[in-house]
A and B are shown apart, each in its own frame.
Chain A
Amino acid sequence: MRALYRSWLLGIGMLCVFAGAAGSQAQQTRSGTDRPGSILMFPKVVRTGQRDTIVQITNTGNSINWVHCFYLSAPDGSGYCGAVDFELVLTRQQPTQWRVSQGRRVDPTDSFGSAGAGFDPGLIPPVPPGFQGALVCVEVDANGDPRGQNRLKGEVTIMDDNTGDVSKYNAFAVAAVSQSLSNPLALDGSEYETCPGSLTLNFSPRGSLDPVIEDLGNANLNSFIATNLTLLSCNLDLAAGVRSNGTVSYIVYDEFESPFSGSFPHQCWTTIDLGNTPQTTGQFRSTLLTGGAIATIFAQAQLTLPTGLVGVAESFHIDQAGVTGSAASNLHTGGARSAAIRLP
């Protein structure tokens, strides 16, 4: 009898070991920027100075898709996460686009080839000048209740109307894993997929010389690389606009494998110029700059927030005449964190 008991224990033990191994593999969220989902998060939407943002959203499915979208505004860095919402209806496989400074009207008489040509997806309000924030869109049904079709994808193009300089990134898509969804949206792996637990960024420390501009462009050892990082919490209260406080921890490795670490406060939405703010000076700066810590021109940063976050980086390459080119990039993700999004 004892042997029988032991053998069952051994079997259960093996089950636990294998399940544990499987679980550790599953600790990585499957959400990402390369496949459609039911929640789209655009971490960086701007209309500041000469910069404007073009949003593209596409229904990749063969049935109609109702979408509830929210502009999150964080104009003064206070962390207030006020939202302005609007609704879209996308027919099968329909792409749509708009400039955030203009929004999109409902006008069936739009001329062929004009900005508003195509089936009007709904009235999209323009954002005010000086807007900095994010856009979050959620698949819903005709009644406005959450629905998980996993058919939405999106892109953003940030354009400088003065210089024509553009940068582009894909929206972060969170897929629904259940057909039984409720408000608040649970990004916990049972209703929706989880959010990333950490973000990884490859970057050149602020103040690095750009070898290509130095060799082939207008530089004379005066080129300059800077990086802007924008983060959006996965925990969002879109009903009340309540901010979520937290601290982002980071660790930076240069090519010598030397680590530098620190943290900075984060409230709902944060945008920072790496190495140029009190919280991130030093660890994100080249040794070319006073107080810079990083001795190589390439580095890797890992960022974590206890409640999960998504983000996008934008690098700026500047020559000695001050002419600037920019490129946005999606961050790599690791781990998994549960979060919740409360809809009105």
Chain B
Amino acid sequence: MKKMWQAAARMGVGAGVALVAMAGIANARSTTNRPASIVVWPKIVVDTSARWLVAPTDTRLMLSSTNASGIKQAHCFYINATGHCSNDGAGCRDATDCGGRGECVPSWNETDFDVVLTQEQPLAWYASDGLARGQFPLEGPFRCNAPFVNLQCFSDAQCPNNVGCNTGQSNLGSAIPPVPEDPFIGALVCIQFTGGSQSVPDQTATRDKLYGDATILTGLNPARYNAVGLEATGNPVSNGQLVLADGGNYASCPGVLILSHMFDGAVDPITNNVAIQYISDLTLVPCSNDFSTQTPGRSVAQFLVFNEFEQRFSTSRTVDCLFHATQLSRIDTRNPARSIFSAGVAGTLGGQTRIRGVGGVSPLGSGLLGVAQANFPTGTLSSAAYDLHQQGNGRSDLMILP
């Protein structure tokens, strides 16, 4: 008996040492390079009638599985952050979209859907259209099992003698709705589930198999960025509450987001053409969301701005569901020429802005994710989207599933 206890103790020591080693490695962080279990697209824009932008705009979303064998399911949430003008109810991003005749009243709601991805499958859709049944690549018809392999089927019931329908891997069960309105601005969050009849948030050995990107196409101008991924830790999720923190279910959100940019209004030094001025826009979304009660994450973004003289400025704004600054120089003032993001104020072309989320509504956290877009308003709009850099780990965030 004593020997049994000793043996168990030794085994425990071995396992404990190994687990400690693993814990160090499992200290994951968010990423825009690697596959992950939660994938967030912070910015989706649809404006097919060019109401907001200079040309019709749509967003192409790509979601891929890197799983080498077997299907993976993604449970996704469109977050609609389109506001509506108080005067005519038209969709708006801010008051400038209401033509100066009304306020932009913010609103928030989510629409969720499932996507089933087969092994190594890339899947893409346009946000204005979605993908309906019949538009997915692998939906059948399939073949019955032997000896009725010449019969087509979609389900077991369609095959004689209970031989079953050989559906293999397919996209059956998937349906992607179009975004709920046009024009639209919002975000998309997809969470990897295990698939199958008892599908749960995936914390198995084959977790972290999803990645994505988005291309915002305005007229002929594409702006592309990688979706932000949050890796799973392997800790099972309970009560539909996804804890994004060290020791939680998923990697924590970044402590600081870093945006490198040209200051707004900087004139291109080569052409010296005042018509070519750098302008950047910024979109931030909270890491936390309560999809169960439709309560959006809320935090305060603190901006710390450095110019090339190492001089520092700061400001802050509330991020309520989604924050979109059509130009950086409108973050701190309604007069862009007087903004700390203006080249006329900063005095240099290049700048660095460090963004930290603070506050937050309990029990949700205050972490932020984001994407920037550099715009060069020449004859036609030209722009490029890019991912923000990140530093450190944020505090705990929470996503609550319905």
Give the interface of A toward B (CB within 8 A). 3-4, 6-8, 10-15, 17-19, 21-22, 25-26, 28, 32-36, 52, 56, 58, 60, 91-97, 99, 101-102, 112-115, 117-119, 153-155, 157, 159, 161, 163-170, 200, 202, 210-213, 215-217, 253-257, 259, 296-300, 315, 317-319, 323-334
Q: Does B337 contact A (CB under 8 A)?
A: no
Closest to B123 in A: A255
With a 10 A CB-CB cut-off, give which of B35, B224, B306 has the most chain A CB atoms. B224
User: Which residues from chain A contact B60 at a C-beta distance below 8 Å?
Assistant: 212
Closest to A153 in B: B389
Cα–Cα, bound, A82→B50 (Å): 48
User: Which residues from chain B contact A212 at a C-beta distance below 8 Å?
Assistant: 56, 58, 60, 126, 217
Find out whether the CB atom of B48 lies under 8 angstroms from the CB atom of A216: yes
**Extra inter-chain contacts (9) besides given A25-B26, A94-B310, CB under 8 Å:** A26-B25, A32-B33, A34-B30, A56-B350, A95-B350, A217-B220, A317-B220, A332-B35, A332-B226
Q: What distance in Å separates the Cβ of A183 from its nearest Cβ neighbour in chain B?
A: 27
Task: Given A14-B15, A15-B17, A217-B56, verify A202-B270 contact (CB < 8 Å).
Answer: no
Closest to B21 in A: A22
Find out whether the CB atom of B56 lies under 8 angstroms from the CB atom of A15: no
Find out whether the CB atom of A317 lies under 8 angstroms from the CB atom of B222: yes
User: Which residues from chain B contact A330 at a C-beta distance below 8 Å?
Assistant: 32-33, 226, 387
Contact of B269 among A114, A217, A256 (CB under 8 A): A114
- A-B contacts, 24 of them at CB < 8 A, read A14-B18, A15-B14, A26-B25, A33-B33, A34-B32, A60-B389, A93-B354, A94-B352, A97-B308, A117-B309, A157-B384, A200-B211, A212-B56, A212-B60, A212-B217, A254-B122, A257-B118, A296-B137, A298-B62, A317-B220, A317-B222, A323-B220, A329-B224, A330-B32
Q: Which of B88-128 touch A at CB < 8 Å?
A: 118-124, 126
Find out whether the CB atom of A34 lies under 8 angstroms from the CB atom of B31: yes
Q: Does B329 contact A (CB under 8 A)?
A: no
Q: Which of B1-31 touch A at CB < 8 Å?
A: 3, 6-7, 10-11, 13-15, 17-19, 21-22, 25-26, 29-31
User: Which residues from chain B contact A94 at a C-beta distance below 8 Å?
Assistant: 306, 308, 310, 352
Q: Does B158 contact A (CB under 8 A)?
A: no
Q: Does B391 contact A (CB under 8 A)?
A: yes
User: Which residues from chain B contact A99 at a C-beta distance below 8 Å?
Assistant: 269-270
User: Which residues from chain B contact A58 at a C-beta distance below 8 Å?
Assistant: 258, 260, 352
